[in-house]
């Protein structure tokens, strides 16, 4: 359950009074999510008709110094007609506050649910929404380096320690070392870049039918290659949860949706096979690290690194996939 911080009723009421959203009516902890603590907040609203918000308390994984980028980007994309929640600024105009040493933000509530078995129509809509984010980020002034690019993957893998990967699966160490070296050596330079989401998994997309109603969780967003973001989204959407079954129809729909809004250049197309191996490596590395470092008895469910080792192998064995 992802509510790591305890906030009493009085704390919450005092906190909500710092925003012009009406008085607190209810607050319920949200079980989904692993990084931060989230509550669904109901208030009287400015007009007394009721209003809903998400309250996020940022835990260790989110650097407070990155919040101006993340929250500024959400506001920017929301202003540019992307389905992204805006942040509610407090009465002093601040996008985030601190309480007991932790940063927190009040965020617009968006309707919709996260799908677990996407349809082609939904994959197409997600591709189009991603392309809109890439275009709308064009005049966002702030930059943030991708801390989970190739150098960050190597750090995570090194952090798994001698024999760590083999403890997860006997063949994992060899696969990762060989792939990491190849991906690093061939990583493309000079492709179009800008603001990317970098973690657009189904659980970070809210949908109603085929409509994308919310893109959330911008806490890995950064400045990097657009085509890498396409590859991340491809790896996240086009396989079953175990990474065993690739769905070619979802893949075609996702890419067609993206290209209907922002066509990929020939160089971006050519780079996709390698970028997809990189995307699989990114989640394999963070999941393997977490797998080995999450204490027994922790409240969060560890995510299976092998689901991305299988994707990595699939991308490696099918370089013609994006042709
Ligand atoms: N703006 C929003 N509108 C509606 N629901 C939201 C919104 N933001 C978050 N949620 C709900 O809260 C849940 C947890 O949010 P989120 O995924 O951002 O948590 P997290 O712990 O930061 O993420 P992660 O698990 O990816 O690290 C989501 O699955 C969604 O149900
Ligand atoms: N979306 C990621 C978690 C955030 O990095 C995963 O499924 O591993």
Q: Determine the residue of 35, 103, 106, 216 to mutate for testing ligand 1's pocket, defined as the one with the most ligand atoms within 8 A of the Cβ atom.
A: 216
**Which tens digit of pLDDT belongs to each residue from 45-89?**
999 999 999 999 998 888 999 999 999 999 999 999 999 999 999
Q: Dihedral sign, CA of 66, 214, 212, 319?
A: positive
Across the range 297-311, mean pLDDT stands at 87
Ligand 2 binding pocket mutation candidate from 201, 220, 237 (most atoms within 8 A of CB): 201
**Per-residue pLDDT, 299:** 65
The whole-angstrom separation of Cα 315 and Cα 320 is: 9
25 close to ligand 2 (CB < 6 Angstrom): no
Report, in this order, helix, strand and coil percent for the chain, each rounded to 5: 45, 15, 40
Instruction: Determine the 3-state secondary structure of 210 from DSSP.
Output: coil
45 and 54 Cβ atoms separated by less than 8 Å: no
Q: The domain at 9-108 falls in which architecture?
A: 2-Layer Sandwich (3.30)
Determine whether the shortest distance from the Cβ of 204 to ligand 2 is under 6 A.
no
Percentage above 90 pLDDT, the chain: 89
- Residue 283 Cα, ligand 2 centroid: separation in angstroms? 6
ipTM: 0.95
The one-character DSSP state at 311 is: H
- CATH topology classification for 120-322: Aminoglycoside 3'-phosphotransferase; Chain: A, domain 2 (3.90.1200)
The distance of Cα 244 from the centroid of its chain, to the nearest Å, equals 22
The first and second tokens of residue 258, run together, are 């993206």
Full-model pTM: 0.96
Q: Which pLDDT belongs to residue 302?
A: 86
**CA 252, 235, 238: angle at the middle one, nearest 5?**
40
Determine the pLDDT at residue 59: 87
Domain map (residue ranges) of the chain: 9-108, 120-322
Percentage of residues in the chain having pLDDT higher than 70: 98
Place of tokens 């999450």: 294
Q: Per-residue pLDDT averaged across 176-186, rounded?
A: 98
What are the phi and psi torsion angles at 54 (to 5°)?
-110, 125
pLDDT tens-place string over residues 258-270: 999 999 999 999 9
């Amino acid at each position: 359950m992802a509510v790591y911080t305890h906030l009493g009723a009085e704390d919450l009421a005092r906190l909500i009074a710092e925003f012009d959203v009406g008085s607190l009516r209810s607050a319920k902890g949200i079980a989904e999510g692993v990084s931060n603590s989230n509550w669904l907040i109901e208030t009287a609203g400015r007009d007394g008709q009721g209003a809903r918000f998400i309250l996020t308390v940022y835990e260790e994984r989110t650097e407070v110094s990155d919040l101006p980028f993340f929250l500024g980007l959400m506001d920017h994309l929301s202003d540019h007609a992307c389905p992204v929640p805006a942040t509610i600024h407090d009465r002093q105009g601040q996008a985030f506050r601190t309480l007991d040493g932790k940063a927190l933000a009040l965020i617009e509530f968006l309707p919709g649910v996260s799908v677990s078995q996407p349809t082609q129509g939904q994959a197409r809509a997600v591709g189009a929404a991603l392309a809109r984010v890439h275009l709308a980020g064009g005049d966002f002034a702030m930059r943030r380096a991708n801390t989970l690019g190739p150098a960050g993957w190597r750090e995570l893998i090194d952090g798994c320690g001698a024999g760590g990967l083999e403890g997860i699966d006997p063949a994992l160490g060899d696969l990762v070392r060989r792939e990491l070296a190849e991906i690093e050596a061939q990583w493309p330079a000079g492709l179009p870049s800008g603001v990317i989401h970098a973690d657009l998994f189904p659980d970070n997309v809210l949908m109603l039918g085929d409509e994308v109603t919310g893109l959330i969780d911008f806490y890995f967003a950064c400045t990097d290659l657009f085509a890498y973001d396409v590859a991340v989204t491809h790896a996240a959407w086009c396989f079953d949860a175990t990474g065993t079954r690739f769905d070619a129809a979802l893949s075609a729909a996702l890419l067609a949706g993206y290209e209907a809004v922002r066509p990929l250049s020939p160089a971006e197309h050519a780079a996709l096979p390698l970028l997809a191996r990189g995307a699989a490596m990114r989640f394999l590395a963070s999941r393997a690290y977490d797998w080995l470092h999450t204490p027994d008895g922790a409240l969060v469910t560890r995510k299976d690194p092998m689901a991305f080792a299988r994707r990595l192998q699939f991308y490696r064995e099918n370089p013609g996939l994006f042709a």
